[in-house]
Structure 1
Amino acid sequence: MEGKEEDVKLGANKFSERQPIGTSAQTDKDYKEPPAAPFFEPGELKSWSFYRAGIAEFVATFLFLYITVLTVMGVSQSKTKCATVGIQGIAWAFGGMIFALVYCTAGISGGHINPAVTFGLFLARKLSLTRALFYMIMQCLGAICGAGVVKGFQGDNRYEMLGGGANVVNHGYTKGDGLGAEIIGTFVLVYTVFSATDAKRNARDSHVPILAPLPIGFAVFLVHLATIPITGTGINPARSLGAAIIYNKDHAWDDHWVFWGWTLHWTCTCCSLPPDNP
């Protein structure tokens, strides 16, 4: 009995000071920031994992465009919105697919599925220029193929009549409105990606497990709810480019620069993120 009582006392006093939830908890974590990725890493070109990651980005973006563009066109072809999933359903399709695809590809390529995410991570020195360019190319090719398959299913006449799922600035909004909506929406997405995948945060708050694809998918869902009436919501240049190339009409190209305007924003804001210190 004396031994047991001593064990109880030791157990009760083993952690005399509880670490609070939040930033104070990091003092008890042994964490070292990983080194920045090299700007150019030619050795990657000889690695199978490099090409496997690119293939994963291609397949994920292909599936993303296939499901989401079909959903958009399904809503567009109905005379009454009550008979379709509506804007909420479109937003769920985009957010849900991002959740599923990031979950599937995170361990292979990081689950970017978006040139804006890849570019932001490149500026933050999370991946090399070699890998960033390869990812962006594969994402755009996957988007083009995904939109092409949709056109094959719908047929030329129906596909063109329904707008091909292409992003355009809607009537009543200026191009400045569209650009602003895209910049803010893209920032919300990439900011969520940085927060959900921050290794330092995971080490500090390990008692609060986070499934990274979940907040990322919700961010996509919420941004679509807000900006579908303005631009149809791009926040993913590969998605906008793939649909525009397959649809290939003048009004789809007139406003297309809006969906790549985030590059102007990122050069000023990405580096304003707090520096990672060990």
Structure 2
Amino acid sequence: MEGKDEDVRLGANRYRERQPIGTAAQSQDSKDYQEPPAAPLFEPGELSSWSFYRAGIAEFVATFLFLYITVLTVMGVVKSPSKCSTVGIQGIAWAFGGMIFALVYCTAGISGGHINPAVTFGLFLARKLSLTRAVFYILMQCLGAICGAGVVKGFQKSQYERLGGGANTINKGYSKGDGLGAEIVGTFVLVYTVFSATDAKRNARDSHVPILAPLPIGFAVFLVHLATIPITGTGINPARSLGAALIYNKDQAWDDHWIFWVGPFIGAALAALYHQIVIRAIPFKSK
């Protein structure tokens, strides 16, 4: 028995932890990675670059397609007297998550695949893009969403008016505070996932990360929709909420519309703060 105890003692101490963890790990320089410099607040040179406008067009088209598919899906569920005969709430969640997965995959190499003003805002706060680009992206996302919802209404105007046009509202039984909380936490989940899935340091270490990045982002959108459709219909994307509300343009679409801007922007800001300070520990890295 004494021999066995000695083996256990030696085995426990022979291979000590050599890989630093926590902030110590974050502060070590990697052979294949250097922290990229923060994006400038203003970058006037972007305005004369075709890649800048190309990225904005990609955001417009992606958000247009996102609204077109998802609004039609929501209307299809509302139309059926028996939701079992349509895709149901689970199908709506899959439509939103699946479209985000596909569109991020298609546009990530052009614009970063934001397709959401809250995502753009969070990345701007983390200094991943300039204010010039952030404002341009948000403008193009909102225009794309308005056009996407407008095309749906143009194809089936009577049905669009009758079925609510996919506009976000606070559902019966829930307060404004409930809706605001759902939007904050839901957007936090999404933007936190975006930061983690597209982290440059992980990309340098694991070559498969850029390929897989759209998958967890789309899956996060799917899960958030499952949780919050009963509360707000799930916004977590101010452009999506604006496009549907503007084209539907009824009082109930505007009553609580502020929640679908304030909630996502607060959630995105909290996610950016959490990722930069806790996950990456950037303010605490040794110089």
Q: TM-score, length-normalised on structure 2?
A: 0.85
Following superposition, the deviation at residue 201 of structure 1 comes to 2.0
The letter of the residue matching 2:234 is: T
What residue in structure 2 maps to residue 42 of structure 1? 44
Alignment RMSD = 2.4
Structure 1 Cα separation of the partners of residues 20 and 181 of structure 2: 36
The letter of the residue matching 2:224 is: V
Following superposition, the deviation at residue 25 of structure 1 comes to 8.5
Alpha-carbon contact 2:64-2:144 (below 8 Å) kept: yes
Decide whether aligned partners of structure 1 residues 19 and 143 sit closer, same or farther in structure 2, where only a CA change above 3 A counts: farther
What is the DSSP-based 3-state SS (H/G/I as helix, E as strand, rest coil) of the residue aligned with 1:183?
Answer: helix
Structure 2: state its 5+ residue gaps.
Answer: 1-14
Alpha-carbon contact 2:60-2:143 (below 8 Å) kept: yes
Counterpart selection for 2:136 from 116, 125, 134: 134
What is the DSSP-based 3-state SS (H/G/I as helix, E as strand, rest coil) of the residue aligned with 2:109?
Answer: coil
Give the stretch that moved more between structures: 59-68 or 205-214: 205-214
Following superposition, the deviation at residue 206 of structure 1 comes to 4.7
Deviations 1:51-96 (A, max 9, x none): 0000000000000000000000001100111110000000000000
Counterpart selection for 1:98 from 100, 105, 115: 100
Q: TM-score, length-normalised on structure 1?
A: 0.88
The question of 1:248 aligning with 2:249 is answered: yes
What is the DSSP-based 3-state SS (H/G/I as helix, E as strand, rest coil) of the residue aligned with 1:168?
Answer: coil
Alpha-carbon contact 1:196-1:210 (below 8 Å) kept: no
Alpha-carbon contact 1:145-1:242 (below 8 Å) kept: yes
The letter of the residue matching 1:92 is: W
Alpha-carbon contact 2:149-2:243 (below 8 Å) kept: yes
Deviations 1:17-73 (A, max 9, x none): 998798798869412001000000000000000000000000000000000000000
Identity in percent? 80
Deviations 1:156-196 (A, max 9, x none): x2211100100000000001000000000000000000000
What residue in structure 1 maps to residue 165 of structure 2? 164
Structure 1 Cα separation of the partners of residues 109 and 16 of structure 2: 37
Following superposition, the deviation at residue 203 of structure 1 comes to 2.5
What is the DSSP-based 3-state SS (H/G/I as helix, E as strand, rest coil) of the residue aligned with 1:261?
Answer: helix
The letter of the residue matching 2:219 is: F
What residue in structure 2 maps to residue 150 of structure 1? 152
Decide whether aligned partners of structure 1 residues 77 and 21 sit closer, same or farther in structure 2, where only a CA change above 3 A counts: farther
The letter of the residue matching 1:123 is: L
What is the DSSP-based 3-state SS (H/G/I as helix, E as strand, rest coil) of the residue aligned with 2:258?
Answer: helix
Alpha-carbon contact 1:57-1:109 (below 8 Å) kept: yes
